Structure 1
């Protein structure tokens, strides 16, 4: 058999779908289809009709539609009828019905189905209806495997990109938190803080961390290091010595040859016994847009003493102390020659054994052990205009942590996280000022405050929130709570939490009992300050 074309047409000879299997031009096809209605007449019930050149094999369908095969006259009529019956099953199976609109909508699918029944040249394939369905679906096991491999590669690449993006975001957030706490100038653009919440204080003009104190090369004892001075006007620093620049440091006892002991040099550099700029430089003003502090006034006393303690704390999310260490130092600055001849007396006999004390190697250790007196060996005076550390102490018990934080982020299941935080003062003997609890939010969206004790600020660029108390002591704000919600679904985004504060009360009960002249024993006027602050206070 040779099938010239297969068509689905109307009774008037209008072709809805027509497929040619031999080379035929359009005019001939249209002529053959136009002649078909005239040949079948109105009363004939035959399934084929012949002309001088071709044979029409047809089957009436529903809605005045016909399935028509145009074959050569030499074609086997039995095979033609079998082909016609198979195509009559294919058409409704592919089009989903015998309506004209269904045939038009599935025209290409019907052409593909005709190609499965008849090959190029018009020869019938030995194929069943189920095989035609399978071929039309083009279901290939190899293709499925290839697609599965491609999908797995895309999923792996997407997961790797998400992992790297998360790592970069966490690194960026860690840098922002470090800058946020330490007061360093950010390298990128810094967002502006939104207005105060809770306490209702007016919003400060300027952006978050917009202002920083200018770095000065002056002794550390003159500085009142306060990186958490948010929400208050900056205080004037203690009187400082005239600015003296020294690159190589000075030696006590005149010039001398020989190589310095490496341990001695390291300790001297750490405590600045041989002069030079202070260890940290001038502290940056955390400020929340506070104005820059005015220049420090000239020293008004022969001697300046600073007792400074810093605490490092790592806490769990439930409020338990995992690690705690306190380090303190007594810094001395001789502003004049009178101050250089000072002898410092401390209450050594009353200091608890739980604190470990160590004098600088240049200090007369025997005088300190026997009498609690701090002075340089050989009766030498302290260098003028330099800050020197003469006594250090440390403490490592967990009870030193002054604040505990209990943080509970809960996923509400609606694309938001509800965060409940409790703060409690655990050291009732301390008075803490400018307490700032810094929380990463994992989003730039503003938190929706449900309830709050104290005040808060939000930095959308850093994605952080600052919970602030002016004063925390046994009588004022010894505990507080904060509850808010933010968009998200990751409770881990709120850690680590960092705490900053300052206090004029030390954990160590050390006292300066006397400051006298080494020669005459006369009292020397002095200015003394005490500072206690965190070096690192983190809840992870």
Structure 2
């Protein structure tokens, strides 16, 4: 819908509702984009999708200049962020499981050397197996991650990644929910003040080179645990990136920010909000970058030979970032069985329900800036393998924005603070 149409609907809203009771929806046939039906049941079923879509269209109470297609892309990007986060958490669980197995083996060896084992005592076989079973039962599930981002639930079975050997072999599953005996959750902040700097990269790449859309959106959010620590100002700095533009919260002193790059409240007697939630203070956008700025490029080369189609895919990562939890998803034709993967740098999984081959690389750094995969399927049109979606995360950002210090507005030392930066990416080719 056009902006004028949306404003017209908002203006007509009070006239469409009666008095004496609350209203959660308005019956109109012009806004069915994210809801299958416009009754209360339909809105409830897609409540989260609607909230996330509104979050992209409205920022700090103001309307964003975005199209419906951009809102769809941003929501898809945020869904991938949660997938990448869960992959990272599952990899940590796997590492812990390996450490526990090693420790158990060392304990067995020590007890055997001391002669503490007998026929009816502790077994050097049972110990590691019990620990392995305990950690194999762990998986990451849930819907929601971080703060200030709209993320819906995912129908992704993380156990399939956890159970794979490191050589890249596949475990065929129909992506069903698994039972959860332990749920990993992020640790609460330990410092009085926590700064989160986050960027989201959204790109649409042409198959023959070039980009249709290259958009980076960033947010600086603040979390203050106690009211007394909220009387502060943040000194920031960032790289001089072409096309970078900032937008501050209405309660932030804009002149102070523009002249000194200091994030402070308009009213110095009013502290930043405290509690367990993050408060977004500054947003920014980077536009105008081209394909040379992409952290990762992917090329796909399908070719039909007789009764088979050979598909070669290669990636090449730029030197600027180390990439974590890379997932490259390739759509496939409807298959009766999994594709035959001949060669791969990383791991793969076939989602038979959605007919998608997922190529995952936990880390791309200086040791593996390029990699490839080859698989074979029955004859198929080359366009079947597009669009390819790529997602990853990294602890670096395009703007390289960071907090360099905290200024207290009252007597005393500034509170201790920590900061974290991360970039999430979801783009299609």
TM-score of the superposed pair, with normalisation by structure 2: 0.59
Corresponding residue number in structure 2 for 1:382: 272
> After superposition, what is the alpha-carbon deviation per residue over 1:342-381, rounded to whole angstroms, capped at 9, x for unaligned?
2110126x53454212212210011112221101111121
Task: State how far apart, in whole Å, the 2-side matches of 1:411 and 1:181 are.
Answer: 34
Q: Unpaired segments of 5 or more residues in structure 1?
A: 1-173, 186-201, 221-277
Corresponding residue number in structure 2 for 1:369: 258
1:112-261 to 2 correspondence within 5 Å?
Answer: 182=80, 212-213=141-142, 215=144, 220=147
How far 1:406 sits from its partner (Å)? 0.9
8 Å Cα contact 1:302/1:338 also seen in 2: no
Residue 452 (str. 1) matches residue 381 (str. 2): no
Q: Closer, same or farther in 2 for the Cα pair 1:437/1:526, shift >3 Å?
A: same
Task: State how far apart, in whole Å, the 2-side matches of 1:484 and 1:443 are.
Answer: 15
How far 1:527 sits from its partner (Å)? 2.3
Residue 306 (str. 1) matches residue 223 (str. 2): no
Q: Closer, same or farther in 2 for the Cα pair 1:509/1:283, shift >3 Å?
A: farther
Task: State how far apart, in whole Å, the 1-side matches of 2:78 and 2:259 are.
Answer: 45
Task: State how far apart, in whole Å, the 2-side matches of 1:179 and 1:533 are.
Answer: 8
Residue 505 (str. 1) matches residue 361 (str. 2): no
Q: Closer, same or farther in 2 for the Cα pair 1:517/1:180, shift >3 Å?
A: closer
How far 1:205 sits from its partner (Å)? 6.5
Corresponding residue number in structure 2 for 1:10: none
Residue 417 (str. 1) matches residue 306 (str. 2): no
Residue 315 (str. 1) matches residue 205 (str. 2): yes
Higher relative contact order (CA 8 A, sep 6+): 2
8 Å Cα contact 2:140/2:184 also seen in 1: no
Corresponding residue number in structure 2 for 1:330: 220
Corresponding residue number in structure 2 for 1:288: 158
Residue 520 (str. 1) matches residue 390 (str. 2): no
Residue 529 (str. 1) matches residue 420 (str. 2): yes
> After superposition, what is the alpha-carbon deviation per residue over 1:230-266, rounded to whole angstroms, capped at 9, x for unaligned?
xxxxxxxxxxxxxxxxxxxxxxxxxxxxxxxxxxxxx
Aligned to 1:378, the other structure's residue is in SS state: coil
How far 1:440 sits from its partner (Å)? 1.1
Residue 400 (str. 1) matches residue 293 (str. 2): yes
Report which of the two structures shows the higher radius of gyration computed on alpha carbons.
Answer: 1
> After superposition, what is the alpha-carbon deviation per residue over 1:4-49, rounded to whole angstroms, capped at 9, x for unaligned?
xxxxxxxxxxxxxxxxxxxxxxxxxxxxxxxxxxxxxxxxxxxxxx
8 Å Cα contact 1:305/1:529 also seen in 2: yes
8 Å Cα contact 2:80/2:391 also seen in 1: no
8 Å Cα contact 1:423/1:481 also seen in 2: yes
Task: State how far apart, in whole Å, the 1-side matches of 2:257 and 2:77 are.
Answer: 40
Task: State how far apart, in whole Å, the 1-side matches of 2:191 and 2:205 are.
Answer: 42
Aligned to 1:505, the other structure's residue is in SS state: coil
8 Å Cα contact 2:300/2:312 also seen in 1: yes
8 Å Cα contact 1:331/1:390 also seen in 2: yes
Corresponding residue number in structure 1 for 2:19: none
Residue 538 (str. 1) matches residue 408 (str. 2): no
Corresponding residue number in structure 2 for 1:351: 240
8 Å Cα contact 1:420/1:484 also seen in 2: yes
> After superposition, what is the alpha-carbon deviation per residue over 1:202-221, rounded to whole angstroms, capped at 9, x for unaligned?
9x9789xx8522558xx61x
Corresponding residue number in structure 2 for 1:33: none
Q: Closer, same or farther in 2 for the Cα pair 1:394/1:461, shift >3 Å?
A: same
How far 1:282 sits from its partner (Å)? 7.9
Task: State how far apart, in whole Å, the 1-side matches of 2:137 and 2:427 are.
Answer: 28
- The Cα RMSD (Å) is 3.3
Q: Closer, same or farther in 2 for the Cα pair 1:441/1:526, shift >3 Å?
A: same
Report the number of matched residues: 282
Aligned to 1:377, the other structure's residue is in SS state: coil
Choose the corresponding residue for 2:329, options 420, 432, 438: 438
Q: Closer, same or farther in 2 for the Cα pair 1:516/1:524, shift >3 Å?
A: farther
Task: State how far apart, in whole Å, the 2-side matches of 1:285 and 1:465 are.
Answer: 15
